[in-house]
Structures are given as C-alpha cells and as structure tokens.
Amino acid sequence: MKSLTFFFSVLPFLVTNLLLSTGAASGETHEDFVECLKRNIEYRDPYSIVKVLYTPNDPSYSTVLQSSIWNRRFNTSSTPKPLVIVTPVDASQIQASIACSKQHGMQLRVRSGGHDFEGLSYVAAADPFVVVDLRNLRSVTVDARKRKAWVQAGAIIGELYHAIANKTDTLGFAAGMCPTVGIGGLFSGGGFGMLMRKYGTAADNIVDAYLVDARGRILDRASMGEDVFWAIRGGGGNTFGVVVAWKVDLLPVPSTVTVFNVSRSLASENATELVHRWQHVAHKMSKDIIIRVSMKRTHADFFALYLGGVDSLLRLMKNGFPELGLARADCIKMSWAQSVLYFAGIPWNTPLDILLNRTQPSVLNVKGKSDFVQLPIPESGLQKIWKVIQDADPASDASLQFQPWGGRMYEISESSLPFPHRAGNIYHAEPLVFWDEDGSEAAQRNLGWIRRLHATLTPYVSNNPRASYAGYRDLDLGPNSPGQLPSYKQARIWGIKYFKNNFDKCESGSSSGRERTKVSASALAAEEIGPPVNSGSPLRRWWLGLNPSVVVSNSIGGGVQGKCSGVAPLLGGAWRGKQGGDNDWQRRWRRHLVAETKQNEGDSATTAADRVQLDRCRWSPAEATSVATLTSSGGLGGGGGLRQRPRQRRKEKEKKRKEEAEVASRGFTVAVVSGKKEEEDDGEGEGNRDDGCRGGRERIGKGRRK
C-alpha cells in the first residue's frame, strides 16, 4: 500500500488563506516577485510570440482571468484577484513560477478548467497570490493501437474525447459529462462519468503522469515513486505539485451505444415510487448500463447510457426495472462520442468539433454539495426531500442528482487510491443549484436552500463519517483557520469525510507497514515550512514545500532519477531550437540537472548507476558542469539561478557550437529531458534509435512548436 507520509499533504488543499512562514509579502516583495518571474520567464525568451505573464496593468489581464471562471460567485469586484497570472507554454515556466513563489512567500493556485465549486483554482483569501493557468498545455496524443493516450493537464474533457473520436469509434474514457471541465482538476479528485460502473473513475485508469514537484524537479511515475503516484490520483487538487500530463488507458466501447432520457411527473406518474424503486435496482444491474436520476420541482428525469443495442436494452429494462415503462421510442442509437454531446445537453448530431469549445454560452452562480447513500431512502424520506426541492427559489435551477454505484466501483478496494468511496454505497447524491441574479441577497437565498436540503438528507446518508467527494470541494465542511497552519485535528474534520480511512492512516505514517519511499523520506527535506503535526512525526516530510502557499495539484519531475524517458513533448511547446542544437528548455534543464547533481554528490543521492545512465544519454555531470553555474542554493529560481553572466553565456554558446558539430556527425538531436533524453532522427525521418534513450515521437502531437 501507500505511505501516508506524503498523503498528509492532502491536508492543505482546502486551505484558502494559508501563508508561508515568511509572512505576508510587502509591496517591495511584490515587485521583486514579478521581476523574478519576468527574469526567469519573459527575459529568457524575449522573442516568444506567446504572452505568458499577465499583471493587473495588462489590458488582457481581466479577459485571461475570467476566461476560465465558471462560477460567477467568484467573479465579483470584491473577489480577491491574483497579483500575476502565468500561462506557461512549457514546464520550465512552471518551475520558475514555483521557485519564485517559494522565494517571495507567494501563495500559488493552479487552474486547469476553472470548474471548482469554491473557486479555489483561481481565488485565495491570502493576499498576494499567483495563478498558474494551464490553458496552453492542452495537447492530447492518442495511440489507438496500444489503447493509451497522453493528455496535458490544461486540456478539457472535450478535447480528450475529441482526440479519441478522431482515432477510433470503439474506444472511450471514463471521465465526466461536462466537456469544459479541466483534465487536471477532474483527475486529481477522482473523476465521475457515465462509464464508471463499467470501468471505475477516471483516476482508476491513469497509468503514468509527469509532475513538477516543490523543488522544481520533473518526475514521472518511476521517479516519483508509487506512493506519490497513488496520491495524485484522487488526493485532491492544490496538493502535491503541478501535474503537467497524464497517461491513461483507453477503454473499449461498442461502435453503437443506446441512450434514453425520460421524465416522470411527481403528480401523475408516480415519480416518488419510481425513484424509490430505482434505489433498489440501479446499482445491481449490468455493468453495461448506468441510469442516473435528477429530482426536480415537479418531476424526475431518468437518463441512461447502455453499451449495447436497443433490443438488448429493452430486455434488460423489462427484467430489471419494468416499473419505468421504457419504450422503444424512448431509445436513441448513436456512437459513444455522440453520447458525450447528448448528456452535455448538446444536440447529439452536432459535429464533434464542438467538443473543442472551451467557452460556455452563459456563466451562472452555482453551489453544489456531495453525499453518499448506503441504504434506500424510504418513500416518506423522499417526500420530505421533494418538499425542500419545491421550496427552492423559483428563479433558480435547483435539483438533486443521483448517480448509481455498483459494477466496477464495487470491485476496487477503498485503499487502492485516495478516493475511498467504493463498496457499501448504492449511489452518490449531489444537491445542486444555479442562479442568475447577482448580489448577496440572492446568494444567501440559494445558499440557504442548498444547506437546508443538505440538512434534510442527514438521516438518510452515510455517517461516521458523513462522506463527501473531494472533487466537489465544499468549504461548509470545515475550512482551515485563516492565516494559520492547519493542525491534524482541525484538518481531520473535513479530511475524514473526503478520504475516510485513507486520511486516518496519516497517524501511523504507513498504510501497510511498508517503508516510506525515498521521495517522501528525503527529496523534500530542505523545504520545511512548518508541518501541521508534532515536529518528530514523519508526516513532516511531505508537508515540506507542498502546501497551497507553495504549489498546487498538477505534476511532472526529473533530477537524476529518470531513465531517459522523453518528456519534452508532454511538457509543452518548448521546441524552439533548430535541429542540431538544444532549445531553450533543454539548456535550462541541463543547468538544473547540473545543480541537482552537484547538490546530491555529497550525500550519495547520485549513485554510480545514475552517472552511468546520464553518460549513456550524453548528459554526464562532467559534460554538463561546463555549461553553466547556478546560485549556491542549487535551485531554479529566485535572484539569479536561471540567469547567467555574459561570460557564462559566451562559454555556453561556444560549448553549444561544439555540441552541434558533434551531434550533426552522430545524426541525431538531443530532444528531451527528465533525467534522460530522447534521440530524434536528423531530418524528417519517423524512426527513433532503439537503444534505451528513445522518447516517443508519437507523443509530440500539438505540444511541438516551431
């Protein structure tokens, strides 16, 4: 199982106003922070056609900030605004953002799609803070033959679905129904979807990732270790670093699926009885069908996806849920990709390119909550619930959504991932309200309603703890105290609800008696900022540098831990150099690697095997040492770690010319970094050298820029 040394770092992901131990930054520090970002991002690439940094003085600042705000509650004049918005185009700019944030005591938020119910991907109570918006990191590369895909964390679900549909109509993925939800946030929380009864959550189908950790290292699954890899799949956002890209298993689906959406009136069609019956059967039916329910003021909607044809669906419903009275005329055949449009409320025969649209026609105020039901609610209880729904503001869109469990969700243990909600639950309940009227009066009216519905559900949902889904973050469950580091006791109030026993394992520091990983034991030991537990606890070590004041949940990494994995295509459009020479990202990474190697040589972290691997990939410490020097800290950022003096730059240019001559004679170019390198054919050839230092040309996709 997994060491909870690192898992305690889920603790801070609801901290909306936690400061670094250095305290609030002064105006001078604000300016220094912005200058640090400019020095390490803009000045490093002055000819880039892509703008990366936005401050309130920029004309485009408000447009960029609001472009991924899907909850108008957090888009008011009084909503705290970031000091800077960073829209990185490659991983080095994420590394610089982390380094500068740590040096200047800035809280950092990472935004993928901006659908957080509490706006925590772009709002922080502590001032100042910075938003890293991953909008430019949205490449998706699909390998239909291997049934794998790499997707960058800034992509939206629709872009992933579109890329799959462009390759095949017999593969899909178990993500959500809203195409504009960001991949980074969905995967970090677990990820519900219409395929979950067949294949589990989105997180259950992640097989690799690239993470930028608190030290700026780029880590894949092998180098981050299984404990950290476990944690990023469902441990919540704003937690373990910045996930830049995810590798997922693609899932078989039939070329034709069947859907239906039928409404049953509360007054004349026995909607209460039907919902009551649904509770007894929906979680027991075939894995190939999922039937969801939406309770509204006057009726209940039953909508379903079936991985098969109409005839077999009708037989299944006749045997399993005849009370619904499903007719052939209610059923529609379509491709799986078209069903994505159907459940998103888009006409299903619309061209699939609409999935690439990252905007919504309207943005409303919204509040959602989350519960898990373990026993059917009696009809009398459903009647009470319906009465509360009918009392909602007539101008609001209020509902209670039910999603059935069972199938694959019962086959996966609750400790397999941080997401623990498995066997024992029959469905998930989601109170939800949208409203258009702005102002505090309308907000209090609607927030008061959803809290009353939440209270009405209390006797009928899970307890000890009353479980909730971390992907639907809810500050009503218990935020940490403003301006204070959270204690374990304080965080447990909400942590146990999101993670159940996976949170309790923090007390022992181990979930199965297995030793803690090298990453959790040593890699972050230099970034201590004050853990939320006793100073002698092993839980300190994953707290180090991993609270929201430092980084947020999204990832990739490197150092000397890698094995020549070929990361660059996944780290963004960093391919600035011509063939035969290193690009800017590669040079920066070399310098970082040199610093890591120097720093580690004295404590045996760089092993002989590491040096052999580096040399094998033409990244030997000796060769790299002559390229440049960093600050004495050996890190990426701050005062001048990425900037070289003129003499150093001249030496680097001379070194580069020699390397180009050598590379040209060998017939390939250095093309990547992650502790290893990828070799690319000189010219337009499609093959890669099969000598263990290959990367993955097939992964370049949209990530490659000329």
Which of 570, 266, 199, 563 shows the shortest CA–CA distance to 400?
266
**502: enclosing H helix or E strand:** helix 501-504
Active-site residue identified among 54, 306, 460, 472: 472
Tokens at residue 10, please?
Answer: 């889920």
Residue 387 CB coordination number (10 Å): 10
Cis before 418? omega within 30? no
Termini Cα distance of the chain:
44
Q: Measured between alpha carbons, how far is 95 from 242 in angstroms, rounded to an integer?
A: 9
d(CA 299, CA 528): 55
Q: Which residue has the tokens 């086959």?
A: 411
The Cα 468–Cα 474 span in angstroms is 9
The amino acid occupying position 269 is: E
d(CA 155, CA 71): 19
Stretch (H or E) spanning 93? helix 91-104
- Pairwise CA distance, residues 536 & 540, whole Å: 8
How open is the CA angle 272-409-220, to the nearest 5 degrees? 140
Q: Is 593 in contact with 558 (CB distance < 8 Å)?
A: yes
CB neighbour class for 625 (10 Å; exposed up to 12, middle 13-18, buried from 19): middle
Residue 262 has phi, psi (to 5 degrees) of -120, 145
Both tokens of 332, joined, read 């529609």
Q: Quote the CA–CA distance of 202 and 189 in Å, as a whole number.
A: 9
Three-class SS string for 12-37? HHHCCCCCCCCCCCCHHHHHHHHHHH
CA angle 322, 325, 327 (to 5 degrees): 120
Q: Which long-range contacts (CB under 8 A, 24 or more apart) does 349-356 make?
A: 352/162, 352/165, 352/166, 353/162, 354/158, 355/158, 355/159, 355/161, 355/162, 355/165, 355/179, 356/158, 356/159, 356/162
Q: Is 463 helix (H, G, I), strand (E, B) or coil?
A: coil
Tell me if residue 427 is catalytic: no
CB atoms within 10 A of CB 409: 22
Decide: 133 and 581 in contact? Cβ < 8 Å.
no
| Residues with catalytic roles | 472
